[in-house]
Amino acid sequence: MKKESNRLLNLVKFIARIYFKTFHDFKVEGLENIPKEGALLIASNHLSNADPPAIGAFAGLIRDSRFVAKKELFAIPLLGWFFRHCNYIPVDRGRQIGDFGALKEVVSALERQESVIMFPEGTRSKTGQPQKPKSGIGFLVYKTGVPVLPVRIQGTFGWPWVRKIRIKFGTVIHLQREENIEPKMQYKQFANKIMEAINSINI
């Protein structure tokens, strides 16, 4: 990432941390569970637009991560400029397995030993309850074998009209291929296991 992009991203993360600490009853746990180096997928549930900046700002205290974001956001002038400037990865959410162009870019990032933040459900929950994950993240783990760090965020549903927000980073999980199971079936199994790990984090 270019120095200019790093400076901009660091400034945005700093502002986000101040915002969440100032205007919300905000706590984060488990930052020590974030590996400081090496390829990593950080996977979280998704309740509101506050989730990416909240998770990214505090995970960024340990290491920078790239985000996978819906492609529609890149069409918003200022936001789209920021996303492109900071190397966010646009994804078409309308596919079950996923946007293969986006998945290929994530694979390349992981091969460069980067950290990538994803929301396995693919979109925000409209009820505040957990949703079924899409298979894209399972595909990525199957293809790359990278470790996954589950994260659970709580209290952002209904943001900004909320007060208490909690984020907890779990422990890294490793998912192994099974040769006797069809790949597409394993994509789903991996995605389900990741989502189960997220939902099992006790906040």
Which amino acid is residue 169, in one-letter code? F
Q: Which two tokens stand for residue 96?
A: 């079950």
Of residues 27 and 3, the one with the higher pLDDT is 27
Phi, psi of 76 (to 5 degrees): -80, 120
Instruction: State residue 96's pLDDT score.
Output: 41
CA 46 – CA 26 distance, rounded (Å): 17
Choose the weakest-confidence range: 15-24, 25-34, 62-71, 98-107.
98-107
Q: What is the pLDDT of residue 71?
A: 84
Kindly report the pTM of this predicted structure: 0.92
pLDDT in tens, 41-91: 999 999 999 999 999 999 999 999 999 888 888 888 888 888 888 788 888
Q: Of 52, 44, 54, which is closest to residue 69 (Cα–Cα)?
A: 52
30 within 8 A of 23, measured Cβ to Cβ: no
pLDDT tens digits along 138-195: 999 999 999 999 999 999 999 999 999 999 999 999 999 998 999 999 999 999 999 9
Rg (CA), the chain: 16
pLDDT at position 97 is 47
